[in-house]
A and B are shown apart, each in its own frame.
Chain A
Amino acid sequence: EVQLLESGGGLVQPGGSLRLSCAASGFTFSTYAMTWVRQAPGKGLEWVSAISGSGGNTYYADSVKGRFTISRDNSKNTLYLQMNSLRAEDTAVYYCAKVPGRGTKGGWFDPWGQGTLVTVSS
C-alpha cells in the first residue's frame, strides 16, 4: 500500500524558515515525480511545487518561487520542501502527493498524504 506521511509543520514567525518532510513507502520512490499542494484555512487547493523522479527537474508556483526549494533523497524515500522568508499568506496545510502519470508534466496527484499545518504568525 502506498503511504505518504508529512512532518515538520508548526508555528513560525514571519520571515522565518521551516523544512517539511514527506516519507514515502509502498512504491519505488525514485521512479515517480512528487508534488506539494497547500490549502489555506477555509480556502481551496493551490499547487506549490513539483520535482522529477531523479530530482533533476523542479518547478514552482509564482507565489513561492525564489523562497521555497523542493528536493528529494531517493536513498531515504523522502521528499522535502524548504520554506524560507515565510509570510502570513503561506499559512496552510501542506500536502505531498505522488504524481503517477507521465512525469512532472501532465500528471495527476494520487495518493495524497494527510497534510501538515504550517502557521506563520508573530
Chain B
Amino acid sequence: ETGVTQSPTHLIKTRGQQVTLRCSSQSGHNTVSWYQQALGQGPQFIFQYYREEENGRGNFPPRFSGLQFPNYSSELNVNALELDDSALYLCASSLGGTGGATEAFFGQGTRLTVV
C-alpha cells in the first residue's frame, strides 16, 4: 500500500506567477482534500474532490483551483500568486462517503515561497 506523495517538495515563485502542485492519493482512496498551512498556524481547508467532482470549498478565492483525475490523483493550481500564498500545502487522501468519520492520510506537503 503506497502512501500519499506530493510534488514538488519545495519551490520558489515570483508574485504574479502561476503554480501547480501535485498529489498522488493512497491506494483505494477516492477523496482528496487540500489544505494550506501558514507558518505557526493550523491547516486551513481549501477544497475537496470526491470521485473527480469538487465536494466542498473553503474560504479561498477562485484563483485557487483544482482537478482530480480518474486514478484519483489531484492537482492544486494557484494563479496570480501573492506573497501571502507562501505556506505549506498539504494534500490528504481518504475514503469518501463515510460522513466525516474516516481517517485522512496526509502527504509531506509542498513548501511554497512567493517572493
Are both chains from one complex? no
Mark A residues whose CB is within 8 Å of B. none
